[in-house]
Amino acid sequence: MEQEKQGFLDFAYQLYKTMKTNEISLVYEGEVTQEITKTFTSLTEKSLSKNAESNTVQKKVFNVMVECLQNISKHADSLSDEEEERRGIVMVSKGDDSYNIITGNIIKNERVPGLKESLELINSLDKQGLSNLFKQQIKESTISEKGGAGLGLIDIAKKTGSKLSYQFKELNDQVSFFILTSTIKRNA
C-alpha cells in the first residue's frame, strides 16, 4: 500500500517535470464535449494572453484548438460499439518558436484510407491550393448529420501554414489510434 502510494507520487512528480521541461500547458484524456472545448480554449486563451503572445498567434491557436476538439467530438469512434462517448487525448505544448496542438482519437480501420487520402491531398497543396479546395468543399458539402462540414482539416492547414503531421497506430483489426499534430509558428 505504502509502496503503491510512493509509486503514484513519483509518477505525479515525473509527469510534472516532463510537462515543465516540454512546456506542456494542457494534457487531457477523456470525453470531448462542447463544454470541454469551451473550457480548454478559454484556458489556453488566458494563458496565451498572459504570455503576451501576439493577437494573431492567439487567434490561430484558439482556432486550431476548436477545430481539433470539434473533430473529436463529432468524428471520434469508440473501442467498442456499445460505447457512445467520443473520447480523445489533447495536449498543448509551447516550443521556442511554435505551439503544438496534439490530439488523438480512436478511428475505425475502414475510415483510415479515406482520412489518409484527405490528409495527403491537403499536405500536397500550397496556400492558394488550400484556399481553392476550401471554396470547392464549402460549396459542395452539405452539413452532415453530425453538423460537421468536412472543412476542419483544410482550415487547420490554411491557418497554421504548416503541413499536418499525423500517424495511425493500428490497435486491432477493428480500430486504429489517429494522432494529429498541428503546429502554429510564433513568429507568424
Instruction: Give 177's strand partners.
Output: 106, 169
25 closest CA partner among 33, 34, 16:
16
> Of the listed pieces 16-24, 31-39, 84-92, 111-119, which binds another protein according to CB under 8 A?
31-39
Is residue 62 near another protein by the rule CB under 8 A? yes
138 close to 159: Cβ distance less than 8 angstroms: no
Contacts of 75 by beta carbon, 8 Å cutoff, 6+ apart: 86, 105, 107, 146, 148
**Residue 98 touching another protein (CB under 8 A):** no
Q: In terms of Cα–Cα distance, which of 182, 19, 8 is closest to 101?
A: 182
Q: Which stretch binds another protein (CB under 8 A): 9-17, 33-41, 110-118, 172-180?
A: 33-41
Which of 44, 53, 60, 99 lies at the binding interface for another protein (CB under 8 A)?
60
- Classify 30 in phi/psi space as left (phi over 0), alpha (psi -120 to 50) or beta: left
- Residue 70 engages another protein in binding (rule: CB under 8 A): yes
What is the smallest separation between the CB atom of 118 and another protein, expressed in angstroms? 14
Among 17, 38, 46, 169, the residue binding another protein under the rule CB under 8 A is 38
- Residue from the set 44, 63, 100, 182 that interacts with another protein by CB under 8 A: 63
Q: How far apart are the first and last CA of the chain?
A: 51
Q: Which residues pair with 26 in a beta bridge?
A: 92
Least separation in angstroms between CB 96 and another protein = 22
89 binds another protein (CB under 8 A): no
Site for another protein in 118-157 (CB under 8 A): 131, 134-135, 138-139, 141, 143, 147-149, 151-152, 154-155
Going from the C-alpha of 33 to that of each of 49, 74, 184, the distances in angstroms are 24, 9, 24
55 lies in the site for another protein, by CB under 8 A: yes
Cα 103 to Cα 175: distance, rounded to the nearest angstrom: 17
Residues that bind another protein in the complex, under the rule CB under 8 A = 34, 37-38, 42, 54-56, 59-60, 62-63, 66-67, 70, 73-74, 131, 134-135, 138-139, 141, 143, 147-149, 151-152, 154-155, 158-159
